[in-house]
Homo-oligomer: A and B are copies of this chain.
Amino acid sequence: MQRYFGDRSTAVSVVDLVEHFRGEMNKVTVYRILSRMEAEGIIHSFSGSDGLKWYAACKQCTNHSHYDHHPHFQCKVCGMIECLEISLPIPKLKNRKVDTEIILLIGECETCAS
Contacts and interface: CB of A to CB of B under 8 A. Distances in A.
Copies in the complex: 2
Given A51-B52, A91-B88, A93-B73, A107 B113 contact: no
A49 B52 CA distance: 10
A84 interface: yes
Contacts of A84: 93
The A interface is mostly helix, strand or loop, or mixed, namely: strand
Interface residues of A, number: 33
Nearest to A91: B88
Contacts of A65: none
Contacts of A101: 103-106
B73 A97 contact: no
